[in-house]
Amino acid sequence: MSRLFALTKRELSAYFFAPVPWVLTFFFLLLTWYFFQWEMSQAYVQVTYAPVFMALDFILMFLVPLLTMNSVAEERSRNTLETLLTAPVHDWQVILSKWLGTFSFYVTMLVPTLVYWAILAYLGYDIHKPDAGPILTAYLGALFLGGLYIAIGIFASSLTENALMSAFLAFFILITMLSIGVLPFMRESAPSWMRDTAEYLSQNLHFAEFLKGRIDAYDVTYFVTLTAFFLFLAVRSLESRKWR
């Protein structure tokens, strides 16, 4: 346990002391702020800031691969993977710590967006209060979504020692998952089982449920299992050094 904690701590501090994650945080806040102020400028009454979250799966599709691209790839290119994996730690501990560290940084990125809640409350005080329920479930959904994206990013990073390659790979996986959910709608002729599978695999419909204020075990299961699946693949990819 202390090993997993030490690994996670190093992972997180690597994010805190590098410039790139902060540049990404800046762009993250800039983009979410754009969607927030667009929402505020609309004529209708707002009690949540759903557009920020609706844009989230798209924003994260670009940001998360850039955030995770170094996680394993850099260890490979700097050869620190050799010192890391010859220490008495299990491969799964290495991958899980990378996920936990990145996820913690992602939460730090997300925290400043709570300001929007305060702004909403200030703008609409005593007329229409922010609706805490859907906002909270949206944040929960954002955590699940981010967790999945990070797992995919780490998996992509574990495949190569080239950081940019890994970012591209993660982006490719994410955009494929997103688009398979959209494509069958354009082709209604597709058999229903194919459409159902594609819709199940695609992240945006599951995420959309959270924005409606619903926490469905069906969607939670989707995120948890798929996150675990990609982390499992990342562990296997680390182990693959043994079979080359």
Contacts 24+ apart (CB under 8 A), 194-202: 201/177, 202/177, 202/178
Supply φ then ψ for residue 188, to 5 degrees. Answer: -65, -15
Residue recorded with tokens 């800039």: 30
CB of 223 to another protein, least distance (A): 30
Compute the CA torsion angle 92, 96, 97, 102 (nearest 10 deg): 150
Contact region with another protein (CB under 8 A), list: 7-15, 51-59, 173-181, 193-201: 7-15
Nearer to another protein, 9 or 214 (CB): 9
Q: Are 151 and 60 within 8 A, CB to CB? A: no
- How near is the Cβ of 207 to another protein at its closest, in Å? 34
Say if residues 103 and 8 touch (Cβ distance below 8 Å): no
Site map 15..54 versus another protein, x via CB under 8 A: --xx------------------------------------
Q: Is residue 240 a contact point for another protein (CB under 8 A)?
A: no
User: Using CB under 8 A, which of 23, 80, 194, 197 touches another protein?
Assistant: 80
Interacting residues toward another protein by CB under 8 A: 2-3, 6-7, 9-10, 14, 17-18, 78-83, 85-90, 241-242, 244
